[in-house]
Structure 1
Amino acid sequence: MLRFLRSPLLASFALVTLAPALPVHAQVAPRPVQTAEDPWLYKGSDLVHDEEWKFGRLSNGVRYAVRKNGVPPGQVSVRVRIDAGSLNEQDSERGFAHLLEHLSFRGSTFVPDGESKRIWQRLGVTFGSDSNASTTFTETVYKLDLPTATAAGLDESFKILTGMLSAPAITQASLDAERPVVLAEAREQPGAQERMQDAMLGLMFAGQPVANRKPIGTTAALTAATPAAVKAFHDRWYRPDRAVVIVIGDMEPAVLETLVQKHFATWKADGPNPPSPDFGKPSAEGNPVAASIVEPAVPPLAMMAIVRPWTVFSDTVIFNQKRMIDLVAIRIINRRLESRARSGGSFVGAGADLSDVARSANVTTVNVMPVGADWETALRDVRGVIADAQTTAPGQPEIDRELAEIESSMKQRISTAPVEAGAKLADDLVEAVDINETVTTPEASYDIFKAAVAAKMFTPQTVQAAAKRVFEGTAVRALVNTHTPDPQLMTKVTAALQADVVANGGKRRALGNVSFAQLPKLGTPGKMVSRTPLLPELEIEKVVFANGVNLLMRKDSSEVGKVYVNVRFGRGLNDLPARPSPGWAGEMALVAGGVGKLGQEELDALIGKRQIGFDFDVAGDAFRFNGQTNKEDLPDQLRLFAAKLVAPAWDPNPVIRAKTAVLSGYAGLSSSPDAVLGRDLEKLLHSGDPRWGIADRQTIEATTPASFRKLWEPLLATGPIEVEVFGDMDSDATIKAVAETFGALKPRPASKTPVPVVAFPAHADKPVVRTHSGKADQAAAVIAWPTGAGSAGITESRKLEVLAAIFRDRMIDQLRSQAGISYSPNVASQWPLGMESGGKLIALGMVPPDKTEFFFKLARGIAADLIAKPVDADELNRALTPIKQMLIRQSSGNMFWMRLVEGGAFDPARVAAVETLARDVATTSPAEVQALAQKYLRPDRDWTMVVVPGPDAQAGG
């Protein structure tokens, strides 16, 4: 299974992608098509087998795959896939596949109700992340990542899983307990986005079951569900011959295989395997070609879809050869669209995607976010770019650029394959099974790719033909979202879809050969003043240069081929003014503004075929450039970051684009309780300080390229620099590279601006009230207590994590599992190291509007109980063990250690605290938990907030 790079688009569009897992064919030494005697995954495929996987089939029909993998050490990941999802439901069963997933986790004939969660917690499993499940249109997948797996723990876990699948406790009591949780999950879906999704599914798959078979189901069907009806669904589809068991981890395959055989061989089917439902095929007959909605909470959008029948019946050579060319064509179109958007075109972002959806259709989608409300011009311009690609062949340099990026990605995958996480490999195999594909090795994928290039499969003519092919199909359909009603909208959408367009690729600017030599010069390499061990046991060193730059580095090749780079400069949020400012646009527009004479187009060309990243974020006490690279590209990675500080470019278009995108979706920040919390909560918890939360509309509207530069230019030029380089690198070469880049900079003055005070809001008897315009049955409740901040209290902050975990587990049990009024309550402790205050312990939940007081009563009751008496040993163990296991797993990666020591060059307390991490967590006692609760969970200091439906909320959801 080969994965291709995907073309970047604006953040608000996420990523416009090319395709999911793509297997391709090697032109050299092709294998014969697999026979029934070969491993079951490869039947009908001529791809090279990944011999690390051992496949088998039990006599009852269960198929399995096992593999040894030591990333992270000690962990075993289990995936059990049932070949049944929401498309297997009858009309009266809509939502049953998902409901059954929930019921299976509650208990079985082997394990009492709710006990599996507690058993797994004692084994170090974090509920919701290490143990989880998902239901889609076509499958239900149960997931377990068991840290530090032992023979006894695995045996117990397999017993639980087998019971969940073969004999779940589908009783009236369990149904009455879990049905409200599922209904709460449905209720908590954002209304505007849900309606948008419904409209898209209904249009794209008109006439097919997937158009109205969302996994969440319907309230009517879920409310009417009986134990007998749910059991009938289970008995029909939960069968050994529809199950695939995948086990991968730090154990010998023979041991894992024995476990599968021991526990799953006794599973017996009830009656013959029913035929899978007919998912239908796209048809133009009698189905709509256009749809329109009016959702002010969603940015204006035009979407075009070209649908074709789903044809991935076997993972063959010819299928993949054609698909590869199609995807390269789409990459080129996406790059051209992105170039137009960056230069200030009629759309903020646009991109095409080619995908197979729910075994129902192969779909080419085109999404367009217009500038303002003029979707017609934006759609016409995007169609013009596509038409240009169809009528004029691309130049070979355009094609070669895409191939170079693909090759770079594939080489990186080969180098990092030894440290690919077992859970990721398990998920990849589940995906391959679901979409009728296979998996192969990274080396085999690269050989396939090289053979395809050598065979000249990617020519201007073949790519042009592909650009035509991917926009042809059974039906072409379009959907438009606007913010204001228009009685003629449907007519306009239909006309826009059917209108002839003139091929308009715009002026294609030839970039030529962009090189790192074109970056600004940095000066004479700096001198190393000192090189000292920082944490000898971890082989972390500190290097100081004459200009004041500090380097923290760790040479560790356990993550083969990966080098993490983090550059901290300035004081982050502490440097931003405590008043409205263009600081909000930094993460969206600063990097895109360019470096020296190179704009974003040139930078893309510069790093696209290299393993170089360029991200920017704002921490509490530093601004950060970060990226993942490798040993060979590390010097240029550092050069790029340093050049940005020395000679930032100030292209106005990224600022304008960021402003347009945020304003376009600003109404959505009022469209649900969750959205309102995202907009206002952090700002309110910092007493209205605008450095937190999302900027208000007036601040965004007032931001200009000039005001953006006025704020950010001095911030890039001031404040100390700390460079962190952790991973598979050479220490001496790294010191030399830093000396030639950051070490060559002029000494930077420290900021003299006083750090603004951070204040937690005062206690009040009544909660702060905000309203939303979404579903009338949605609300949110928040309660928070002030804690501490700064590196002097790191030990206490770690023990607060234990308190938060206990609080969270009780909230889940009482608010979700028992009361059934919230699907995803959460409790978290936040302790900012780089600030003098601002820490908090916060609990929140999405609840019905009439249950906010119930939430506060419950949360305060838990807090009072934690204050009144120590937790018992088992409860503490069930909180502590998952935290300890999470730390053990994370500690196998360099990013973990880098985040622990970052900032340590100027704050030695952070470094000293690394050595106490394990002790701080593991020695937490019931008395300490109680003492922390008494210190911080004081009823006279809590702060509360509710988000309730406003007058414009939509009744009935």
Structure 2
Amino acid sequence: MKKMKNLLLLLLVTSQTFAQNLNIPIPNNPAVKTGTLKNGIKYYILKNAEPKNRMELRLVVNAGSILETDQQLGIAHFMEHMNFNGTKEFPKNQLVDFLQKSGMKFGADLNASTSFDETIYQLQVPTDSARLFERAFQILADWSQYATLDTTEINNERGIVLEEERARFKNAQGRVQQKLLPLLLGDSRYAQRIPIGKVEVLTSFKPEQIIKFYKDWYRPDLMAVVAVGDFDPAQVENLIKEKFSGIPENKKGPKRVTYEIPLSKGTQTALIVDKEIPQTSFQFITKLPRDKTKTQADYRTDVAESLFNQIISTRLQDITKKPNPPFVFAIMSYSPFLAGLDAFQVITVPKNADGLEAAIKAVLDEKERVKRFGFTKGELERAKKDYMLSVEKNYKEKDKTKSAAFVNGMIQNYLHGSAYTDADFRYNFVKTHLEGITLAEVNAIAAKVMKEDNSVGMVIGSEKDKDKLPDEKKILELINTKNPDLKPYEDEAVATSILEQVPTGTKVVAEKKIEEIGVTELTFGNGIKVALKPTNFKNDQILFSGVSKGGTSLYTDADYFSAELATTAVSQGGIGKLSDVQLDKFLSGKVANVYTYIDELNEGVSGNTTPTDLETTLQLMYGYIVQPRRDDEVVKGFLKNQKELIANSYKTLTPEKVFNDTITTTLYQKNFRRMPIKPEDIDRVNLDRAFEIYKDRFSDLSDFTFVFVGNFEVEKIKPLLEKYIGGLPSTKRIESYKDLHIDKVKGKVEKTVYKGLEEKASVNLQFNGTFNFTDEEKVNLDALAEVLDIKLTEKLREEAAGVYSPSISASYNKLPTPTYNLTIAFGCSPANAEKLAKIALDEIQKIKTNGPESTDIDKVKAEEKRSTELQVKENSFWNSYLIDQYFSGEDLNFINRYSKEMIDKISVESVKKAANQFLNDNYAKFVLLPEKK
């Protein structure tokens, strides 16, 4: 008896110790160097090797739009813009000019964002240039204290900020948001401080207001510097001290007040309709006080909440995979909201307005089922496997993690006091505590987050459907109705294997090494070629693709939609005896993703996995190709929903859809295979024919080329490839794609579309033509697009202040016949559409006549060199690059020649030649203007 008492005492002490241990703070990453300067600026420094010769810098300002006065609405965001328009060391636009010459791209490497409570500036900077390294910290210091705020520059920037407001808010989503925010934010200060501000303030505020905001809130006690990258931390710390220590304190600055969003009793409801909303949706949001994560016990709770979200998400996904599902899409999740609040949200999208009430009932039934009966043991175990998998993956990649991934943890620590942990702590903590999280704990989260108070229920839909949509009273009735006939969730047994029989395969019959790009080519007995590129870019990643010529081009117009949707139909069914839902459950805790496709000129397969799960993934691929499972009821339900969604898009035509459809149909001269899909087109899908086409495309893989890129050894991977790739079907037939001669319109075309309620225009210029597909043409067409991006940003945005962000892109295809496309697109005021289009065309003419400026060529070359440095260290780049080169029959070593030789050959004359060749009179101009009143 005494021994039993001692044992019970020991267990009690152990339990108390365990609890006490979890009540200690979450440790911060010990590798991060932190400090605070005498003036109050805090800094975080972390040495990280990936990507090599790069660092991520952030200036974090604990001030956003919430701090604006009524005379300053939009000033916080406007101030962010002004920091790119003149500082002490970089007057006017010299900052962007300097960074572009250093190989950085505005938007990608140089950017900023303003929210309610903070403003964050970001730089990704090369560290192999001593001058650029030093200047990067000077740029952050300039942003923090030394903006010039020149009155002329402020007035010039007004137009750009107004165009950003037009682009983001002059649409149906913007109008819905205006009605939505008062419901979600109540009469809080947040409802009156949307970061973009008020148009009337942006157009008329006195420069003194932005100067006052800058002096009041951009001060040392409200700022932090974050630096993560491939550098010497001591050197970085010295630079931070050198550049920021001289900034004076502002002891007279106003108090940084923390604002709240008030909670309210009961459930508010609203019906929001708009003429340009094509799709009906239901949203139910419950605001909850946030439980701050400070201790390890809190961290354990966070893990349990992640499991809760994961299981609910899986349940809802499974419903969409059943025959005739009640909704097209649904989510339920518990996550951070705003102003120290969390939110539990339910969102569902029905197939149409008629099915809305059924969709609401179905999703709320699932919510109630969780609350009433909880989850099953099997669901929790699968969720734990998936959660552990993600943690293990991060742990395995800890020395290959990109610097950008570390930044947010330090930002959140500065702004909210949350811990920035490292991969070792996360892995060891989860490994120790995950299994101890009980089903009762996870089930209890439902009662915590599924509350009746502080809730808002909304239906958002088309004005045309208003008579079919429930009013506020009916919405509340639907929310409050509890289904008495609900039964607990029934969990299916999990399969033990994918394949009923493993293939015997064929051996490697030929092997070839391509040393220049580190590729080994294998040819198997069934004729399939596999290119292997082992890399050390990631520790736990393997990507693969396979492709052959053929595609939908081989089928008649009568079979076109059956061919187009063949792989979609097959993917809904699963493999062998396993449904898609059963397959997902079997794959819990594994990284095994595979999809097949049939495009116009080819068919193929792609996937990603880890070294551990490679065989499972190869079995999955083999199963989709050799043993696809047919489930007509599921596919019919899926197609029915798709038909209704398409019908909705035609019932309420958005300006964007009408405009894009006009561009496509005009360019391709209303070719049947380029016409926008219509509801009746879904009826043309014949499931028997779709499966015949799928089996035909994947019945002979002898002409396939596969590419594998990632962490593997060639000799060790061979036996698996011989079994599964070598075991794929082969009849050695000879085939290719068919040239359907789907050519773009020739000559000069101009079309104006009148659609939309807002004072908002879009301009789209399309240059198209034939292409010789030489290295010189490819390189110089890309360079021309980059020159135009620089020049049109300068002319349309900075000088004319008429657009927010012009988009310029170039593309080219070798097959079926070599063609190119260069697109210039931008949004603007309707009154400025023609003027800005003329500026763009005039700038093109200048480049054709005089060539681009040499400084712009230098920027393009610098950007290309810097971006290529990073590209060639990515598995995703090599996977897509190699499969494209094999498919089109191009030189596999092109990328090496490009980075070592071709970039340097880009010149004023070569781009001028490209401009005259590609920017000719064979172009189309499209303009979208609002409806005539």
TM-score (structure 1 length as normaliser): 0.89
Change (3 A) 1:448 1:654: farther
Whether 1:233 and 2:213 are equivalent positions in the alignment is: yes
Q: What displacement does 1:376 show?
A: 1.9
Q: What displacement does 1:153 show?
A: 0.5
Whether 1:763 and 2:747 are equivalent positions in the alignment is: yes
C-alpha distance in 2 between matches for 1:690 and 1:508: 46
Aligned to 2:714: 731
Listed as ranges, the matches of 1:280-359 within 5 Å are: 280-284=260-264, 288-294=268-274, 297-312=277-292, 315-343=294-322, 344-359=324-339
C-alpha distance in 1 between matches for 2:213 and 2:180: 28
Q: What displacement does 1:830 show?
A: 0.3
* CA offset digits 1:558-602 (Å, max 9, x no partner): 322221122224445655766862555467655333222222212
Of 614, 619, 630 in structure 2, the residue corresponding to residue 634 of structure 1 is 614
Whether 1:846 and 2:830 are equivalent positions in the alignment is: no
Q: Which runs of 4+ in 1 moved over 6 A?
A: none
Change (3 A) 1:197 1:604: farther
The CA RMSD measured in Å over matched residues stands at: 2.8
- Contact map agreement 1:203 1:211 (CA 8 A) in 2: no
Q: What displacement does 1:242 show?
A: 0.9
- Contact map agreement 1:332 1:399 (CA 8 A) in 2: yes
Change (3 A) 1:718 1:747: closer
Letter in 1 for 2:212: A
* CA offset digits 1:341-397 (Å, max 9, x no partner): 221331112111111122242110000112322222221221211212122242212
C-alpha distance in 1 between matches for 2:23 and 2:279: 50
Change (3 A) 1:270 1:665: farther
Of 873, 881, 884 in structure 1, the residue corresponding to residue 865 of structure 2 is 884
Aligned to 1:803: 784
- Contact map agreement 2:55 2:124 (CA 8 A) in 1: yes
* CA offset digits 1:854-909 (Å, max 9, x no partner): 23312221221111123333221012111111001111223222322214445542
Aligned to 1:39: none
Q: Secondary structure at the match of 1:108?
A: coil
Aligned to 2:4: none
C-alpha distance in 2 between matches for 1:67 and 1:557: 22
- Contact map agreement 1:656 1:705 (CA 8 A) in 2: no
Of 459, 478, 498 in structure 1, the residue corresponding to residue 480 of structure 2 is 498
Whether 1:722 and 2:723 are equivalent positions in the alignment is: no
C-alpha distance in 2 between matches for 1:473 and 1:432: 32
- Contact map agreement 1:412 1:611 (CA 8 A) in 2: no
Runs of at least 5 residues in structure 1 that lack an aligned partner in the other structure: 1-25, 34-45
How many corresponding residue pairs? 905
Letter in 1 for 2:224: V
Q: What displacement does 1:625 show?
A: 2.8
C-alpha distance in 1 between matches for 2:923 and 2:475: 52
* CA offset digits 1:218-275 (Å, max 9, x no partner): 2122112221011111112111111111111111111111121111112224343433
C-alpha distance in 2 between matches for 1:298 and 1:741: 45
Whether 1:53 and 2:32 are equivalent positions in the alignment is: yes
Whether 1:463 and 2:445 are equivalent positions in the alignment is: no
What is the percentage of aligned positions where both structures have the same residue?
19
Aligned to 1:743: 726
Letter in 2 for 1:870: G
Aligned to 1:64: 43
Of 910, 913, 917 in structure 2, the residue corresponding to residue 931 of structure 1 is 913
Q: What displacement does 1:87 show?
A: 1.9
Relative to structure 2, which stretch is displaced further, 126-135 or 754-763? 754-763
Q: What displacement does 1:777 show?
A: 1.2
Whether 1:824 and 2:808 are equivalent positions in the alignment is: no
Change (3 A) 1:99 1:829: same
C-alpha distance in 1 between matches for 2:66 and 2:452: 23
Listed as ranges, the matches of 1:682-701 within 5 Å are: 682=664, 684-689=666-671, 691-692=673-674, 694-700=676-682
Runs of at least 5 residues in structure 2 that lack an aligned partner in the other structure: 1-16
C-alpha distance in 1 between matches for 2:275 and 2:333: 24
Q: What displacement does 1:54 show?
A: 1.1
- Contact map agreement 2:268 2:455 (CA 8 A) in 1: no
Q: Secondary structure at the match of 1:798?
A: helix
C-alpha distance in 1 between matches for 2:585 and 2:410: 33
Letter in 1 for 2:143: M
Q: Secondary structure at the match of 2:152?
A: helix
C-alpha distance in 2 between matches for 1:945 and 1:330: 45
Aligned to 2:518: 539
Aligned to 1:554: 533
- Contact map agreement 1:354 1:363 (CA 8 A) in 2: yes
C-alpha distance in 2 between matches for 1:201 and 1:704: 46
Aligned to 1:91: 70
Of 558, 579, 588 in structure 2, the residue corresponding to residue 599 of structure 1 is 579
Aligned to 2:498: 518
C-alpha distance in 1 between matches for 2:502 and 2:362: 41
Listed as ranges, the matches of 1:52-131 within 5 Å are: 52-131=31-110
Aligned to 1:379: 360
Q: Secondary structure at the match of 1:648?
A: coil
Aligned to 1:782: 764
Letter in 2 for 1:731: V
Of 735, 738, 752 in structure 2, the residue corresponding to residue 754 of structure 1 is 738
Relative to structure 2, which stretch is displaced further, 391-400 or 659-668? 659-668
- Contact map agreement 2:510 2:524 (CA 8 A) in 1: yes
C-alpha distance in 2 between matches for 1:435 and 1:645: 50
C-alpha distance in 2 between matches for 1:194 and 1:671: 17
* CA offset digits 1:594-653 (Å, max 9, x no partner): 222222212211223112223455666433432321112112212211221112223342
- Contact map agreement 2:516 2:893 (CA 8 A) in 1: no
Letter in 2 for 1:758: I
Q: What displacement does 1:710 show?
A: 5.1
Relative to structure 2, which stretch is displaced further, 81-90 or 796-805? 81-90
Aligned to 1:650: 630
Whether 1:168 and 2:147 are equivalent positions in the alignment is: yes
Letter in 2 for 1:924: I
Of 389, 414, 428 in structure 2, the residue corresponding to residue 447 of structure 1 is 428
Aligned to 2:848: 867
Q: What displacement does 1:202 show?
A: 2.5
- Contact map agreement 2:498 2:623 (CA 8 A) in 1: no
Q: What displacement does 1:788 show?
A: 4.5
Change (3 A) 1:785 1:504: same
Change (3 A) 1:173 1:397: same
Q: Secondary structure at the match of 2:421?
A: coil
User: Highest CA radius of gyration, 1 or 2?
Assistant: 2
Relative to structure 2, which stretch is displaced further, 869-878 or 808-817? 869-878
Relative to structure 2, which stretch is displaced further, 252-261 or 206-215? 206-215
Of 183, 201, 205 in structure 2, the residue corresponding to residue 203 of structure 1 is 183
Q: What displacement does 1:338 show?
A: 1.9
Aligned to 1:15: none
Aligned to 1:243: 223
Relative to structure 2, which stretch is displaced further, 902-911 or 799-808? 902-911
